[in-house]
Structure 1
Amino acid sequence: MTKITQGKPAPGPGGDASVPAGGMDRVEQLARRIIAANTRLNTIALAAAASLIVLGAWAYTGVAGSLREIRAAGLQTVLDAEINALHLWVENRKAHVEHWAGDARVRRLAGELAALGRREGVSGEALWMSPARAALAEMLGPVQQGAGAVAFNVVDTGGRIVGTQFREYSGRRVNPGNFLAQLYEVFAGRPQFVRPFREQDRVEGARAGAFGRPVVWFKAPVANERGEIVAALGFAYPAEGEFANILNVARPGKTGEAYAFDENGLMLSESRFVQDLRKIGLIPDASGASAMLRVHVRDPGGDLAAGHKPAMEWAALPLTRLAALAVASRGKANAEERHGVLVEPYRNYRGVEVVGAWRWLPDYDMGLTIELTAKEAYAPLVYLNLAFAIILSLLLAAVGAVLWSAWNVRRLKREVGEERVIGQYRIERQIGEGGMSKVFLARHELLKRPTALKMLKPHLASDEIVARFEREVQLASQLVHPNTIEIYDYGRTREGVFYYVMEYLEGETLDRLVDVHGPMPVERTVHVLRQVCAALREAHGRGLIHRDIKPHNIMLCQRGGEYDVAKILDFGLVKDVAGGQSRDITQFQRVVGTPLYMSPERVRNPGDADARADIYSVGAVGFFLLTGQSLFDTTTEHDLTYRILHTPARRASELVPGVPRRLDDLIARCLAKERTERPHDVLVALALLEALSVEHTWTQRAAAAWWKAHRAEGQPADATA
């Protein structure tokens, strides 16, 4: 600000006034104007500075909170994926032991051993020398080796080991206070996964490390000929094998780790930081020393690697905050109380500040956690602090940037908001919105043709998502079949927001049509499926697999005077098996698509898809159209995954009478678990549907009558593609 001396003229070099008295009025007027102008500028600058400070504090708080939410969601997602993988593995192993527990010969031999064990005075040596035990060992030895198990045993309902391949265990009893409680569910008739136990805690009088390493058990009930449960058959697997591998997969970042623990905080799996634990003395400094069944998840009060020494014995230390919460939730009936996320840093068993997500698994009687060091989790805040300091130090530049940004925002609003013009298209109204994009009804400025303009949400415009949209356009634009939605144009706004333009459809998606009007008749179902297969014929012929065929992505509409024209929408998950884009864009092992209509091979391996994956989805759509019901009636993702992989699909004829045998058989073949049992090509399905359409014809008159009858019920839905 310019400083003006008032009251007396400013002295000149000689000490006298250098400005004549007659010029003072003009000088003072100029000074007042300068002062007023600078005051206004300073007021604006101060207001802008204050606003920036408030905005910066608000932004800092918001970003920090958002980062915590993102970390919480990320940890929870990884934990959920870990638990789902564990569930799938456990169910698979339980099915294996249940199969052998139901074998007639196993039941007979186990029954003989259980009966022998109940006799008064029968020793462990007598059980070991019994022909039944030898026969059982001879039978199950190859089975356990083929499955990767290291041991088997048979435990009677009293907890006595009556069948084993280890002589020292024959006749011993499992620990009634620990291991026997894990078998109650088995003796009640339900197969069970038993978490790792120390041998001395599992079997009375057992020496530590009899197997040489910790194991997990899978137990199943063995019934006699009268259906009475007389024993439990179990297979033991190394805990360092598949069980540990499942947990080792979930190690986010450079410091993330996943591990399991019991109700005492004892680690049931391996630590990622074994070398550190050896250096700080929590486990022996020897090759092969493990944290599994040795380290308790306790809070040492400080970073052990930095030299901190706990103030008390390790056994007297409290559990970490996460472990304490998880153990406290043990036994609670409400599932919502058995999991949580801690985004505020706490010390882990190494004394390092971490954040984590946890869940107590009552079926396995253990807790599972994902942890990440707070330093890595909140590393972006370091850069945020630096940015905040720079903003404060360069306040004037920031004010200019804010004003420039505000001008750009206003210009963007005029272009996209007020004028509603993008490229050569004038937007009329929004007709749909998804998680990543919005769809607008728009008209070409010159052609005046109605179109659907799909625009990616700006805040989601990552390289991955933009690449997916561009691929959707490029692949879909290759297709010209009348039953595939037509792409007209694509591009970017001045601000770089990606969009593309497609034909505008008025009609009903199949899911909404069935939900509102009920199942379709056979004739109409054949008519729709025939069109879908015809469109897929072109796509498959070009080496393109849709991978997301479902009722929501198929629309019935009126086109060119024709009724019930089916249109396949949304090519966002297309896989180009003929070109160079055969990998998913994300580069991660994650499932893309809708699980309810996803083939079993894609559930196992998301990238494993050929034309028969689409054929499976067509079968699932046909089942839905005929019955109005989903293929599998389930409420949990885990149960749905299991049923897709293992449960044969119901036939449509079981729910709806009058389904033609050939159509029923076609849908059943499409839904075969093994893709080799499905039609090898969509042409096979198309030929069968065309033959069926001759006998079960859906005429244009019938279609027109349906649309006329239901038009009064409400306007057709806009296509959201």
Structure 2
Amino acid sequence: MESRRSNDSETLGARIKTGTNRRLVSWLAAAYLVVMFTTMIWVTQVLDRSMRRLAGRSIQSILVGNVARVRLHFVELEREAEQLLAKPAIRQAFTQSLTDFEASDKDALSNGSSAYVEKLDKLIPPHPRAIGWVLTDRDGHTVASNDSSRIGTDCHWSDLNRNHLLRDVSTLVLPPAPVDAPVQPTLMVLSPLIEQSQLIGTFGWVINPRGYLSAHMSITPTDATYLFDRRARMLTRSRFEDRLSHFVSTDVPPGSATPWPPVLIRDPGTYLSSPDEISPEELADRPLTRMADRATRGSSGVDTDGYNDYRGVQVVGAWQWLPEYDLGMAMEIDADEAFGPVKILQRVIVGLFGLLTLAGLCVAGLALWSARLQQRLQDRDQGRRRLGQYELTELLGAGGMGSVYRGRHQYLRRDVAIKVLEGEDLSPQSIERFRREVQLTSTLRHPNTIAIYDYGQAHRLFAERSPKGTHDTDSVFYYVMEYIDGISLQQLIDFYGPQNPARVVHLLLQICGSIAEAHDAGLIHRDIKPANILLSAQTNSWDFIKVLDFGLVKDLGRVEDTVAITMTRSDAITGTPLYMAPETIRDPSAASMSGDLYSIGAVGYALLTGQTTYDGDSAIDLCLKQLERAPVRPETRLGRVLPNGLQDLIMECLSLHPEARPSSVNELVARLDALPESSRWNQADSALWWETVFEANRQRTPVETKNPTLADHPLNSAP
């Protein structure tokens, strides 16, 4: 017996030693593999960054040269027009023509008097680079031109053009045309005609940018520079006209003044290998390319990460906005062509590192297999927590009414959020209140209200966690709702401060949409606050609001509601002090829809200023301030000017008297829609914020609010 025990002990010791050695070899091989792959990735990334910086500088230098050449051409045209105006005979003829135009039958002149035009045409020498000339009055109406169709038309000067001319400075005019008009845009270089310090008219040259400017820009088989206006219409030629024949006519000579439909710098969403893939009308509805979107907003920059151009092809490029001309210029090159050599070099490097790591692959595979097996054993020993068919993966947060976990359905493999009530939180009132929250929330269908998927009761897997003496400690109540990948408005306020007024209106409208549905169903939320409102960032649906946590809902249509009566009795204040209406603080049973409007106003105040309505050291201090006086006006609190209409509406919602607030959420929506800021924040602005501001701060993405005691937690959860 003793010998057998000794052999068993030796066998066990050998197995332990073998297992230890095997793990040591596996980890060493895995470490070697990790080091090799890390080094390879680092080398390739350094090489890629270096090549992108080099490509960006090269593209930008070419663009700068092209911008300088275009500016020089415009300056030459302006100087030539000014030189003509400086000649007494021509200046006198122009002045007389403008005087005759004012005193004569304008309709007759608009029809084009040949003698009237021929007189000027003989004085004006032909310009080798212009397709014509124009003479306009002080208001931009064409008085005379070598093209009779222009006479009597309006040049539609912009404010920029008018300011230049009034300051006796030549200007560049782009006559407007509908985006889908089959007309190639033309440019006018106009110089002012000043008499006695007054602008009496202008004279200038009409040029076809497609023929005149394209010849002086870099257009090669691998790259192209082009000019475009604020509506992202390409004014110069495209080097891909053979592929875009569906949208432009390639049989028009480069210098011709024949109508030519401009190419729209919009992302078609797919590679245009065939002209029949997308119609011109569909293309006009597509979003601008990343370059065009940023350039038409007045920015200049370089993008070497790659973006889709107007053909749907990945390109890298640089762009510059020319504010003095209200035009933009871009230099683009296909990404495959720009980074072709570096990709070849990267493959060589990957191949070399692959040869170096080949010897350790088998051992590394064994190490990974051992690690996975060990993890499975640990999972089997420890057990992952399950509630019904849902597996809980991580804790998202905990509050007075249970904890929220991230989970996944066993078969659907869909991420969900699971709210759990268990242990010390269990009581007859809390269980009934939990069920009531599920029942009432599940009746709401508004897109901005959190969606409920399931509700259930299970037994705890870890009974030792349940404190003895509590009610139903072996049970777990839970409900399943949609998982929102985003942040709460409280986190947005705490980490990103005051928000753009237009964005505040955009968010408040969505919150009102959710609460309006609840009010129409006879439900009062009673706990509207930034921490209960999530802001998601999904593709094509940026800045999308989800209102949740209807645990304090009051059902106005239910006559006998024991839980609601318990929650709203006068000695049990529920809700969050900073977002509770004064009348609710005085008498919780007086909660009404007007109280929700006060809470929405408090949320808007916090978004607009980055601060709560009141400052205080305790919840009681805050409640006393809310009962005694209205909050300070947002612009006074923030110290800068804010839109008065939005401030007035928020302050009206925060009125101490319910009758002074908007009569309903629907009225609040209508008044928010009427504000000038209601349409100024769009999906492009939202996407830009998430892609720049949020992504730049990803390392410090908030996981909880900074002030949970006063700003987030209720005064007292109803027993």
Same fold (TM over 0.5): no
**Shorter-normalised TM range:** 0.3 to 0.5
TM-score of the superposition, structure 1-length normalised?
Answer: 0.41
